[in-house]
């Protein structure tokens, strides 16, 4: 069973089956870029098992896996794992701090049953699933559209669901989000039974096309995927699944805590607007210039063009698995602790609210008082957690922070906003 919009029909098919049929049922083979599409070189992809990254249409093609929940088919992908040997063997991001995810939160990792101890190699029964039936709604706020006036998540986690799973009593933790349910037909236009970032699915070839995000890390342009958020409005903004249990993961304001599982991600409420980033960045930019309120699918070519030109929020990641220092690379986690930055009125008036590309540079700006959290308090965690595995980099791999941190990177008390 395939599901993809028109324009991607198999060459051996003389005709598509008609627009209405193709929109939902599909006659295309996902994962195959069309002639002229720009593809990311394989050596610039961190999830080595990725089949393709289509830069023209902003999607990555990943291997698809089938499981069940209550006897119903569920379809998932795997992006990260906490075990180094398995990361190498399976072509996944190595995220050692995922092993800490259950510290103080037993339900943060979902235990699944499998006929094989390695996830994806046997029949898998999930303990929870996702309801993709709600309509995703984002109501932009006045002016630049951010913050939104409200919204409704297009997918909601059910009881016992987490995208982070362990097979039986194994201590190995995988990032394995469910992206579709049922046996088809799959709706990749309005996403009534699929993730809001699923652009195409092929359950014969076992591939999934997922809309990625353009961002920055350590001064470089990078790409990541996004699947879940711990609050409903953030899930709307991520085009992801509302998964509240992620808000209990360890720990807020603790990017470098040895027992934590979160890393910091920085966004801005009032960065500059415009179609390109830099200089544009942040919530207002992605709502207005990235057409965030619209539904994402391969038929929405205006939205795809806006994202390609730089319409994503261009958040800044505090860790990345390609960093030269093994200790820093080992801090990578797909669990991101959101820091919401607000430029000062003086910075905005001086047009200094330009796109930032390095987490420590943002910390320096915060130390100077140019950036705060909402309400003027010191920049720190909003205690909103998002599941965003890194995918790759556009040109050069991130290798090191661009500046030293503004504060020591030790382990101050958990409620200290200065903590990284």
CB 291 within 8 A of CB 275: no
Inside any domain, residue 35: no
CB 282 within 8 A of CB 290: no
* Domain count of the fold of the chain: 1
Q: Which two tokens stand for residue 84?
A: 């180094």
CB 253 within 8 A of CB 366: no
DSSP 210: E
SS3 176: coil
Inside any domain, residue 320: yes
Q: Which residues partner with 301 through β-bridges?
A: none
Predicted TM-score (pTM) of this structure: 0.90
- Domain, as residue range, for 347: 44-393
pLDDT at residue 20 in the model: 32
Cα(267)–Cα(281) distance, integer angstroms: 8
Inside any domain, residue 36: no
CB 203 within 8 A of CB 185: no
Phi then psi for residue 87, to 5 deg, are: -60, -45
Conformational region of residue 95, where left means phi above 0, alpha means psi within -120 to 50, and beta covers everything else: beta
Q: Which helix (H) or strand (E) holds 112?
A: strand 110-114
pLDDT at residue 35 in the model: 67
3-state secondary structure 87-99: HHHHCCEECHHHH
Inside any domain, residue 415: no
Inside any domain, residue 411: no
Q: Which two tokens stand for residue 157?
A: 């986690």
Inside any domain, residue 283: yes
Cα(225)–Cα(217) distance, integer angstroms: 14
Q: Could you count the other beta carbons within 10 Å of the beta carbon of residue 178?
A: 28
Inside any domain, residue 194: yes
CB 29 within 8 A of CB 204: no
Inside any domain, residue 360: yes
Residues of the chain with pLDDT below 50 are: 5-32, 409-420
pLDDT at residue 37 in the model: 87
């Amino acid at each position: 069973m395939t599901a993809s919009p028109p324009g991607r029909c198999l060459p051996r098919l003389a005709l598509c089956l008609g627009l209405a049929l193709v929109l939902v049922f599909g006659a295309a083979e996902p994962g195959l870029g069309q002639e002229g599409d720009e593809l990311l070189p394989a050596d610039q992809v961190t999830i080595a098992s990725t089949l393709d990254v289509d830069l023209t249409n902003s999607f990555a093609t990943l291997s698809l896996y089938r499981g069940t929940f209550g006897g119903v088919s569920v379809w998932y992908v795997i992006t990260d794992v906490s075990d180094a040997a398995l990361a190498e063997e399976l072509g996944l991001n190595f995220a050692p701090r995922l092993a800490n995810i259950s510290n103080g939160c037993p339900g943060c990792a979902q235990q699944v049953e499998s006929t094989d101890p390695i996830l994806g190699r046997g029949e898998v029964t999930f303990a929870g699933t996702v309801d993709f039936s709600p309509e995703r709604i984002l109501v932009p706020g006045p002016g630049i559209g951010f913050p939104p006036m409200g919204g409704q998540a297009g997918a909601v986690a059910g009881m016992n669901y987490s995208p982070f799973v362990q097979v039986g009593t194994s201590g190995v933790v995988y990032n394995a989000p469910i992206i579709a349910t049922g046996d088809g037909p799959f709706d990749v236009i309005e996403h009534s039974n699929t993730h809001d970032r699923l652009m195409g699915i092929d359950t014969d070839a076992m591939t999934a096309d997922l809309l990625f995000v353009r961002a920055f890390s350590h001064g470089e342009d990078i790409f990541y995927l996004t699947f879940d958020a711990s609050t409903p409005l953030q899930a709307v903004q991520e085009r992801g699944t509302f998964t509240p249990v992620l808000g209990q993961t360890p720990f807020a304001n603790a990017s470098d805590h040895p027992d934590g599982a979160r890393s910091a991600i920085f966004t801005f409420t009032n960065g500059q607007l415009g179609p390109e980033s830099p200089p544009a960045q942040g919530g207002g930019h992605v709502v207005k210039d990235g057409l965030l309120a619209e539904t994402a699918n391969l038929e929405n070519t205006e939205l795809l063009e806006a994202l390609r030109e730089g319409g994503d929020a261009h958040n800044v990641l505090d860790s990345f698995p390609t960093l030269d220092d093994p200790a820093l690379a080992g801090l990578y986690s797909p669990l991101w602790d959101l820091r919401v930055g607000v430029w000062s009125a003086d910075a905005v008036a001086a047009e200094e609210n330009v796109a930032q590309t390095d987490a420590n540079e943002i910390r320096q700006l915060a130390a100077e008082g140019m950036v705060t959290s909402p309400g003027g308090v010191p920049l720190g965690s909003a205690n909103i957690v998002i599941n965003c595995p890194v995918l790759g980099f556009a040109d050069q791999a991130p290798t090191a922070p661009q500046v030293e941190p503004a504060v020591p990177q030790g382990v101050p008390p958990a409620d200290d906003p200065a903590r990284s």
